[in-house]
Amino acid sequence: MIPPRGDWGDTMRIWLVVILGLLASGCATVTRGTTEQVQILSEPAGAEARTSMGHVCTTPCTLQFQRRDEFSVTISKPGYIRQEVAVTTRLAAGGAAGFAGNVILGGVVGMGVDAATGSTLEHVPNPVSVILEPAGGAPPPRRGPPRPSKKQSEPST
């Protein structure tokens, strides 16, 4: 059935909005999102992790960041030497594929959206993992059950 003459304009406007919506969305932005979770681990656990962006948590923990954010994590625990780890971004394999998908669907606008949101990026290292060293040169705590001591045999006479 052919719609009455006045409805063609409404139908065309709807299609135009749908097409513009597809062109305005970046493929990587849609498939990967604009945020990423970064896991922070320490040995021993229970250390304070503080980021240069103001996040604070106790290890092990997971924090969420914008994909384009670069920051540092300072991990500290009483009795241990504080460590700082720089977290940077790099082009992710999945992000590159999504960005390339813009050639088919999103065009230049989609590429611009992906670049602006950082959706093609991933954080490195992820997870952030450190082994804290005891302060004052003390040996690190041993793991596992204590070893039996070796008794020296007495000389026979």
pLDDT of res. 18: 54
* Nearest CA-CA partner of 126 in 99, 89, 78: 89
Higher pLDDT, 19 or 89: 89
Examine residue 54 and state whether it is found in any structural domain, yes or no: yes
- Reading the block at residue 72, the tokens are 């540092």
pLDDT of res. 2: 55
d(CA 58, CA 44): 11
Assess whether pLDDT exceeds 50 at residue 89: yes
Examine residue 155 and state whether it is found in any structural domain, yes or no: no
C-beta of residue 61 within 8 angstroms of C-beta of residue 110: no
Assess whether pLDDT exceeds 80 at residue 60: yes
Examine residue 1 and state whether it is found in any structural domain, yes or no: no
pLDDT of res. 20: 47
The pTM of this model reads 0.59
* Nearest CA-CA partner of 32 in 128, 122, 126: 122
d(CA 82, CA 48): 10
Domain residue limits at 80: 34-91+122-135
- Reading the block at residue 140, the tokens are 């690190």
Positions of E strands within the chain: 35-43, 48-51, 56-58, 61-66, 71-76, 83-91, 121-124, 128-131
Q: Is 128 exposed, middle or buried (0-12, 13-18, 19+ CB in 10 A)?
A: buried
Examine residue 57 and state whether it is found in any structural domain, yes or no: yes
| CATH number of the domain to which 80 belongs | 2.60.40.10
Examine residue 25 and state whether it is found in any structural domain, yes or no: no
Examine residue 127 and state whether it is found in any structural domain, yes or no: yes
Query: How many domains does the chain contain in total?
Result: 1
Q: Which residues pair with 62 in a beta bridge?
A: 39
pLDDT tens digits, one per residue of 2-18: 555 556 667 777 665 55
Examine residue 73 and state whether it is found in any structural domain, yes or no: yes
Examine residue 101 and state whether it is found in any structural domain, yes or no: no
pLDDT tens digits, one per residue of 18-56: 554 444 444 444 456 788 999 999 999 999 999 999 999
Percent of the chain with pLDDT over 70: 52
Percent of the chain with pLDDT over 90: 41
pLDDT of res. 116: 61
Higher pLDDT, 121 or 54: 54
C-alpha distances in angstroms, 118 versus 28, 57, 105? 9, 25, 18
